[in-house]
Structure 1
Amino acid sequence: MFTGIIETLGSIEEIKKKGQNLDFTIASGLTGELKIDQSVAHNGVCLTVVAIKEDHYTVTAIHETILKTNLSDWKTGEVVNLERAMKLGDRLDGHIVQGHVDQTGTCKSIVSAEGSWYFTFEYNQGQQNITIEKGSITVNGVSLTVVDSKANEFSVAIIPYTFEHTNFKNLQIGSRVNLEFDVIGKYVARLHQLRQ
């Protein structure tokens, strides 16, 4: 379980294909605090630490995870958002995030607003995920509030702190991102679907 509050950034140092899986070796200031079998969210994708060496650690993504996320787009040198699993008793500063990406979306527009930015993302509505205005959404692991919700797109406002301390500063129009929709909203939508 995560909160969507990014702790730090990591850099992808190596990518190895093993059958249908991918191993990612990441350099991060968090490495010294990690242990094998620990869950870490990488751009919102919960991956398990399988090896640690000095300031690098390795995680493995299985084929299903690769299919549902933007991990297949990752390149050596790319910067990813990192968050360790939350501890019981900690404040929940973001929202409840599982680290299970529902689908990817594409950055449609970036508008500067005198000190902040509005990012608009579109996604395939066929998977029946929804957003609501003032509801929660996770984009590349970052807990955000939806400011404009439409049938297959939504916008979020990014403050300077979030822009500088996440990989939002690297996004461009056309960038593919990981989306995790609000878990409560998903249950409500599913219940509504079952009653029809």
Structure 2
Amino acid sequence: MQPTIPTLIIIDMQKGMASAAAGQRNNPDAEQNIAALLQAWRKAGAPVVHVRHMSRTPGSVFWPGQPGAEFQEQLAPLPNSHVLEKNVPDAFINTGLERWLRVRDITRLVIVGVSTNNSVEATARTAGNLGFDTEVVADATFAFAKVDYAGTPRSADEVHAMALANLQGEYATIVDTRQVLAALATVA
């Protein structure tokens, strides 16, 4: 039996995430890595899900109709792409994502996007809990600097690393773009 290509899930790669106002971030090459993965998935004719966060808070950069809510051009879905909108961090909550995957007998997921410690982590945790074979691509995700609960400022790299550590082995396997592209080349 030939291995199947996992579904690529691109989370919240919207214009608002690329603005300086979003905060100090890590992985400046994340968009380039996501674009390379997206191109490879499209070339292979494999399924891609584009997730967009739509805020429930009027005035938010992610409020419907705001420029920040739009997809970044280089990562925009094609007209026939599956797009879902969410208004909480987890892409499985109130979106129909699980049903969409199950009806297609999809069991393997590759998750990329932003932010590592928020929507990526929440979605990967649920995916793992639902039994999906899940990979999170470390260099195709990024996080923002944040002050922790004890009041200690944490760099974007620290926030990113902790989120990946939270996922590794329990909910997902952490990989990099090179590994994913190499694996895709063996099944595509």
**Bin for the TM-score computed over the shorter chain:** under 0.3
**Structure with the bigger percentage of strand:** 1
More helix by share: 2
- Structure having the higher Rg: 1
Report the TM-score, using the length of structure 1 for normalisation: 0.26
